[in-house]
Amino acid sequence: MFEIVNTPRDYAWGSRTAIAGLLGTVPSGSPEAELWLGDHPACPARVKSTGQSLIEWGALNPERFGTGPLPFLLKVLAAESPLSIQAHPTRVQAERGFATENAAGLDPDSPTRNYRDANHKPEVIVALSDFSALCGFRPSSEQAVIIAELLHQGIPGSSELASAVARGLDTAVGWILTRGDGVDPLVEALSAGIRAPSDAVVDDALETARMLAGHFPGDPGVAVSILLNHVMLRPGEALFLPAGNIHAYLHGLGIEVMAASDNVLRGGLTSKHVDVPELLSVLDFHELHEPRLEATESNGMRTFDSGLGDFILTEIEAHHEVHVAISGPAIAIAIAGEVMLHSDGECRLARGSSVFIEAGESLHRVTGNGRIFVAHSPTRNIPKT
């Protein structure tokens, strides 16, 4: 085991204080949106003692790193303002899209790229603060009540919305994001603020749309938001976002683990590249009744497993001694207190520190008094020596 470090990415939507406050570091003065801990080439972590990127270290030490790139990426995410409405592709879609953009000669760093690698990007995020997000399409019964309220109030564009939804969510989302007839008046009305105090779900959807319009005036994503689940996570609760899931994080601090990819298809609520046809081609238009992911709890551990095989996220609260069985390669970060990690040797992990647990190592005990998260994979291939 050895310590790794990285610098938070300064996306405009990031908080200036949340990550520093969590990890006990000095704020940079700029937005700090995401701290990446992994070997993704867009922002690989570094070995603290040598300054090498984790990619460089892995190439020099394959028997201690494992075969190929890590299948997971661990992040600390802090959203001060809303992220874009987006989705991520399946592995097949990513391979096809990446090959197509490469064949077209699109620069790897082009801002108009949709596919920056050939991997899928399912995600799990565990809230560390109150955390709000849009995630998946609402049950049709809720959509119907919201649209009925807009029709009842005579909101411009509401009849066109009702007609589009009746033909299917793919039709409705396409109509909204391509600014079909009636979309701009609908967005304008939602931006001005509409109240439905007789129904809490409807009122929350309309208030969320008004909030988004304050950040992105005139954006058609404001109208899409009323068709989506608005999820409020309490600290410790988690969301699972599989391929094709339409979502937008709105506000909060969390620990996120995902397949190692940077593929994002955006449809609105952003100044970045938007590709509506490509987004529509990957979206899952089924309604989503429960977007939360329940943890499996045992002996001081909470395990979040999407079942996809790329990653597992394990939260460990150590007050004395916790017995675990986690095989490397893995990455651990401490967000509170101080613990000792016990494998073949021992490694001290204090708040704000992160370590890489090498291939072939087995983390079997955590002692001390602290709280850590460990990202690992159940399917990682380890070369034989």
Question: Which of the residues are catalytic?
Answer: 266
| Nearest C-alpha neighbor of 363 from the set 335, 333, 324, 334 | 324
In 3-state terms, the chain is what percent helix, strand and coil (to 5)?
25, 35, 40
Asked whether 317 and 300 are in contact (CB, 8 A), the reply is yes
Give the chain's count of helices (H) and strands (E). Answer: 11, 19
Asked whether 39 and 54 are in contact (CB, 8 A), the reply is yes
| Nearest C-alpha neighbor of 4 from the set 47, 37, 36 | 47
Quick one: how far is CA 180 from the chain centroid? 30
Q: For residues 51 and 71, what is the distance between their CA atoms, to the nearest angstrom? A: 22
- CB 189: neighbour CB atoms within 10 A? 21
- Structure-block tokens of residue 237: 């609760």
Helix axes 140-152, 158-167, angle to 10 degrees: 160
- Structure-block tokens of residue 279: 């987004």
Q: For residues 368 and 385, what is the distance between their CA atoms, to the nearest angstrom? A: 34
- CB 154: neighbour CB atoms within 10 A? 9
Q: For residues 68 and 78, what is the distance between their CA atoms, to the nearest angstrom? A: 29
Asked whether 272 and 126 are in contact (CB, 8 A), the reply is no
